[in-house]
């Protein structure tokens, strides 16, 4: 893996399926970016209201609760602009409607990079391949290329006054086996964990989650060739030009 080059990157859009997906995946990288003056914007496809049934929280209360948790988590790593698309949790499909709605956010935000989940199933770690994650990754990839840059892809967006926008590269998750680049998050791993702790409705054992995150990020750092005691996150860089 190579270290991710952030030269010339001024704005990043992260598109994921559920609240807490960004924080498990890249909150450390996001903190590194915002510390460097890069603006990061979040787009959440669902409100995550199908998660947390075991807590006893009524489902009608879960969506607003999870939105608030995600806003709090985002603020910890320097993100204050969030878009919620409101798709049904557990029922996300890479439809033309979802591609259009993500393309709309791309044209509004006009990012230099888009970060999203992998569209490829990981058979070694099934939890990373929630169907909503796969569908969100596929729809986002389609929105980046060709939809957001094609004036005729979704005529209603042009009718809204949203001009086409070309994103030159896509950053995708998928685990270290598929990763091509890493971000050293040693200075930000505590904030990553703090952001995750904001998702109280989803964490029955916060201490175990924190320990797991330190283990994951430490192992990723070692695979990236960093010295012992460092922490890292990884991603696959896809050139879309």
Report pLDDT digits (tens) over 150-209: 999 999 999 999 999 999 999 999 766 689 999 999 999 999 999 999 999 999 899 999
> What stretch of H or E contains 41?
strand 39-46
Whether the pLDDT of residue 92 is over 70: the answer is: yes
CA dist., res. 183 & res. 84, Å (int): 26
Whether the pLDDT of residue 107 is over 90: the answer is: yes
* Averaged pLDDT for residues 48-66: 86
Instruction: Please report the pLDDT score of residue 218 as a whole number.
Output: 98
Encoding tokens for residue 17? 């399926």
Strand 181-184 relative to strand 232-239, pairing: antiparallel
CA dist., res. 61 & res. 49, Å (int): 8
Picking from 83-92, 104-113, 124-133, 227-236, which range would have the lowest pLDDT averaged per residue? 124-133
What count of other Cβ atoms lies within 10 Å of the Cβ of residue 239?
7
Residues 167-184 as b/e (b if ≥16 CB within 10 A, e otherwise) read beebbbbbbbeebebbbb
What is the band of 106 on the pLDDT scale with cuts at 50, 70, 90? very high
Residue spans of alpha helices (H) in the chain: 21-35, 59-76, 96-109, 131-142, 155-159, 189-197, 206-223
Instruction: Please report the pLDDT score of residue 176 as a whole number.
Output: 61
Instruction: Please report the pLDDT score of residue 60 as a whole number.
Output: 85
Contacts of 165 (CB under 8 A, 6+ apart): 106, 107, 110, 111, 148, 149
Of the chain, the percentage scoring pLDDT greater than 70 comes to 99
Report pLDDT digits (tens) over 109-158: 999 999 999 999 888 878 778 999 999 999 999 999 999 999 999 999 99
* Averaged pLDDT for residues 202-226: 95
Instruction: Please report the pLDDT score of residue 38 as a whole number.
Output: 98
Residue 192's nearest CA partner among 223, 171, 213 is 213
Largest CA distance in the chain: 54
> Are the CB atoms for 198 and 212 separated by under 8 Å?
no
What is the band of 73 on the pLDDT scale with cuts at 50, 70, 90? very high
Average pLDDT taken over every residue of the chain: 95
Residue 145's nearest CA partner among 14, 43, 239 is 239
What structural domains does the chain harbor? Answer: 2-239 (3.40.50.10320)
What is the band of 97 on the pLDDT scale with cuts at 50, 70, 90? very high
């Amino acid at each position: 893996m190579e270290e991710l080059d952030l030269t010339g990157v001024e704005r990043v859009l992260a598109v994921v399926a559920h609240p807490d997906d960004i924080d498990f995946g890249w909150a450390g990288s996001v903190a590194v970016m915002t510390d460097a003056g890069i603006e990061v914007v979040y787009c959440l496809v669902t409100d995550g209201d199908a998660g947390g049934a075991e807590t006893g929280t009524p489902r009608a209360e879960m969506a607003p609760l999870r939105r608030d948790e995600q806003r709090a988590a985002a603020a910890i790593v320097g993100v204050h602009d969030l878009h919620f698309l409101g798709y049904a949790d557990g029922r996300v499909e890479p439809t033309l409607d979802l591609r259009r709605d993500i393309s709309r956010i791309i044209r509004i935000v006009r990012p230099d990079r888009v970060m999203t989940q992998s569209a490829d199933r990981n058979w070694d770690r099934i939890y990373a391949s929630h169907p909503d994650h796969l569908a969100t990754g596929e729809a986002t990839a389609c929105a980046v290329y060709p939809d957001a840059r094609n004036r005729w892809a979704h005529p209603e967006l042009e009718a809204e006054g949203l001009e086409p926008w070309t994103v030159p590269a896509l950053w995708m998750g998928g685990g270290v086996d598929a990763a091509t680049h890493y971000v050293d998050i040693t200075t930000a791993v505590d904030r990553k964990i703090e952001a995750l702790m904001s998702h109280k409705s989803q964490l029955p054992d916060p201490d175990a989650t924190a320990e797991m995150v330190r283990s994951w990020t430490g192992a990723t750092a070692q695979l990236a060739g960093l010295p012992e005691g460092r922490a890292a996150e990884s991603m696959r860089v896809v050139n879309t030009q």
